[in-house]
Amino acid sequence: MTTGTLITVAPTGAESAKAEVPALPVTLDELVLTAKECEALGAAVIHVHIRDDEAKPTLDQGRLRETVTALRESTDLIVQLSSGGAVTDPESARLAVLDAGPDMASCTMGTVNFGDDVFLNRWEFIVDLHTRMQEKGVVPEYEIFELGHLTALQRLLGKYGLPHGGHVHVDFVMGVPGGMPGTTATLVAAEQMLRDLPEGTTFSATGIGRSTIPVMLASLSAGGHLRVGMEDTVTYAKGRPVESNMQLVARAVGFAQLAQRPPLTTAEARTLLGL
């Protein structure tokens, strides 16, 4: 079991609207402030989606580069860009995310129903994303929405080799309507399937919405790490909206400390992830 806890904050996402969630950080200044606050509490990685001037999701290359630069200048956080974007983004724009020079990027390991939409990830696209990350020196976080995605990852690594840095890290995204449920039983099953992946593979877990706390506790007890943030939940408790990403990171840090697995520093996180 890992002694420390890697805490990732996913502050914005592509689903929630600013008009409906006023606390959502959508401007660059809001994002940088959130990043600094969450780093001070114990976050080591920031999973980034960006918005345009109308607060709509975008993969604009100039904005991505500006965001990476600003986060590097203001924090020591590991900058992980989302290659998922919004479900409507074309593959070419999603691949171009890597050109913005992040430390890490997400790599979703298969197609999944996503509420009323379909989050499409063709095998050829996954291979292209994986191999481009190898070439560009970007460390992937393999996003797993279904248990079958772990089998796809085993196939990918077997055929195309280990990621840049040599360490395999996955994130179980649990509780998405259409994906695997955010339950302890599902997390245990997913964790057991990691035995088919390279030795030393680590995992984080993300519980969407009301599955946030059960997934957090289950992940800590199984030796896993945590991803929290307003991308994944905008309700702190029933009838109580989230006030800030800091609030969610503070809760995750508290749980990690109770589990006697305190947050990893950014330096420790870089070592763990092969950066």
pTM (2 d.p.): 0.96
38, 37, 82: which is closest to 58 by C-alpha?
Answer: 82
> What per-residue confidence (pLDDT) applies to 1?
45
- How far is Cα 32 from Cα 36, in angstroms, rounded to an integer? 6
Enumerate domains of the chain plus CATH numbers: 7-273 (3.20.20.70)
How far apart are alpha carbons 44 and 31 in whole angstroms? 15
Q: Could you give the residue ranges of the DSSP H alpha helices within the chain? A: 28-41, 61-74, 91-96, 123-136, 148-160, 184-193, 212-221, 245-258, 266-273
Closest CA to 175 of 148, 138, 141, 212: 212
Residues 6+ apart with CB under 8 A from 137: 164
As a whole number of Å, the CA-based R_g of the chain is: 17
Instruction: Specify the pLDDT at position 159.
Output: 97
User: Residue-wise pLDDT tens for the chain (275 aa)?
Assistant: 458 999 999 999 988 999 999 999 999 999 999 999 999 999 999 999 999 999 999 999 999 999 999 999 999 999 999 999 888 899 999 999 999 999 999 999 999 998 889 999 999 999 999 999 999 999 999 999 999 999 999 999 999 999 999 999 999 999 999 999 999 999 999 999 999 999 999 999 999 989 999 999 999 999 999 999 999 999 999 999 999 999 999 999 999 999 999 999 999 999 999 99
Compute the distance between CA of residue 43 and CA of residue 182 in angstroms, rounded to an integer: 22
